[in-house]
Structure 1
Amino acid sequence: MPKPGKRRKFSAAEKLRIVREAAACTQRGDIEALLRREGIYSSLLAAWRKQLALHGSEALAERKPGRKPKQDAKDRRIAELEKRSARLEEKLALAEKLIDLQKKVSAILGVNLTTDGER
């Protein structure tokens, strides 16, 4: 067991091993013995289980502390344009569906759809 006050870092493989060992525990007191042997709290084991269930084994990998690096102006502009492009594509798809619907309705009703410039 590590010295008190010394913070341990677990690799993804260690975390996965401990979670699998905990899952294999069947008798009463086995998980508690595992936690004492590994020197971890049940809340940490619960957090690892949750990460594993939500995001798979890659979620257990160690992340760098601190904020994510800021995007530069070009990256922000690209992201903004991609969002705008996606919104416009959705609008275009909706407009095309509405035009098709108008054509079908006019065919059913026998109405000729022409604009002022097409007469």
Structure 2
Amino acid sequence: MISEWRKQRDAGLLEGKSPGDAIGRPSAVQAENARLKAQLRKAEQKLATTEMALEIMGKAHALLEQISESADPDERRPKR
């Protein structure tokens, strides 16, 4: 019952309904809307993860650059 309720909620069938009101099956438009909302949520989560990874990579790059610049020039390995 809970999974059915979640499907109805995601499809927008419960909006504007009072408890105890009859709820029918989602129409094609409502089902498509629910599918697109789920797809959007997944894409937003993936985007947030990617942005976080890029931010971490940028910080790691800046840290390595700072360490590289602060290293004693005499201790650096000669370039080949």
> What TM-score range do you get, normalising by the shorter chain?
0.5 to 0.7
> Which structure 2 segments of 5+ residues have no match?
1-17, 67-80
3-state DSSP of counterpart to 1:90 = helix
One-letter amino acid matched to 1:85: L
CA distance in 2, matches of 1:68, 1:86: 25
Q: Percent identity?
A: 22
What is the root-mean-square deviation in Å for CA atoms of aligned residues? 2.1
Aligned length: 49
Segments of 4+ moved more than 4 angstroms: none
Name the counterpart of 1:73.
28
Deviation, structure 1 residue 68: 2.6
> Which structure 1 segments of 5+ residues have no match?
1-60, 112-119
Name the counterpart of 1:91.
46
TM-score by length of 2: 0.54
Change (3 A) 1:77 1:106: same
Over alpha carbons, which structure has the higher Rg? 1
TM-score by length of 1: 0.37
Structure 2 residue 30 is matched with structure 1 residue 63:
no
